[in-house]
Amino acid sequence: METFKRELKNFSLGKCLDIGTRNGEFLLKLKESAIDYEELLGIDNDEAVILKNKDNGDDIKFIHMDGEGLEFQDNSFDTVCLSNTLHHLKDSSALMAEMKRVLKKDGHIIINEMYSNNQNLQQLTHLELHHMSAEIDQILGKEHYHTYKESEIIEMVKESGFMVFNHFSYMESDEFNKKLIKKIDKIDKTVEKIAGHEDYSKYVKKADEIKTMYSENGILPCTQLIVIGKK
Ligand SMILES: C[S@@+](CC[C@H](N)C(=O)[O-])C[C@H]1O[C@@H](n2cnc3c(N)ncnc32)[C@H](O)[C@@H]1O
């Protein structure tokens, strides 16, 4: 998190939109690190998550909306963010086009995403846990895919017509790691969600392999990538 804070400490967020905000986790991190902001808006297409956060007292305004059809005028925001949501999209191009449309001419996009390459043994426990959860979510009908390589994420931002002028990697906080340990503790419950499915026993075996990785190597969060681009 030190690198994150250092790289963003002079960043002025202005009117800032976060797509796929869930509980506003990324906006809260940005707000702590950036120099200032004018307005913080978080949208998510999961209505339940928005209802839960609507009156939580933070100065984030939560709105139920789909990132692929933003209900905002062109050139509305100084900063548009997408955090750990790229790997929830079947095709990122429509959403990235919307990010570009609502961004002001000299505004910034910030992409934050965990990535799959160059991870150490402890981080591979997280990666395998994440990939297994994504596959189970897919069986349950949710859009959730494996994470991308660092170079693929940067390429996606460029292909969407943004000029990339900064990117850096950083490590998540100890708090985040505590959440991962809780997920490992509940790994059997995650697999139970697909009890009766034809691939159930495959995932029981996979969960055992991940538990072994955890007991032999431990767990640490995968490294995150920040890509900052301009329109
Ligand atoms: C893994 S969470 C990321 C939460 C948060 N941004 C963070 O960095 O911790 C992904 C979120 O993206 C949301 N999401 C997925 N597709 C979306 C879309 N097309 N439009 C808006 N939100 C979307 C999901 O509902 C979920 O809350």
Ranges of the chain with pLDDT below 70 = none
- How would you classify residue 226: left for phi > 0, otherwise alpha for psi between -120 and 50, otherwise beta? beta
- 83 C-alpha to center of ligand 1: Å? 8
Ligand 1: residues whose CB is within 6 Å? 19-22, 25-26, 44-46, 49, 66-68, 83-85, 88-89, 95
For position 39, what pLDDT does the model report?
A: 97
Ligand 1 centre from 215 Cα, in Å? 31
Number of structural domains (the chain) is 1
Residue 97 Cα to ligand 1 middle (Å): 17
- Give me the CATH number covering residue 44: 3.40.50.150
What's the 3-state SS for the chain?
CHHHHHHHCCCECCEEEEECCCCCHHHHHHHHHCCECCEEEEEECCHHHHHHHCCCCCCEEEEECCCCCCCCCCCCEEEEEEECCHHHCCCCHHHHHHHHHHEEEEEEEEEEEECCCCCCHHHHHHHHHHHHHHHHHHHCCCCCCCCCCHHHHHHHHHHCCCEEEEEEEECCCHHHHHHHHHHHHCHHHHHHCCCCCCCHHHHHHHHHHHHHHHHHHCCCCCCEEEEEEEC
Structural domain containing residue 33: 2-230
The DSSP bridge partners found for residue 163 are 230
Q: Which atom of ligand 1 is nearest to the CA of 49?
A: 27
Ligand 1 atom with minimal separation from the 65 CA: 21
pTM for this entry: 0.96
Ligand 1: residue whose CA is nearest its atom 12: 20
What confidence tens digit (pLDDT) does each residue in 109-136 have?
999 999 999 999 999 999 999 999 999 9
78 C-alpha to center of ligand 1: Å?
Answer: 20
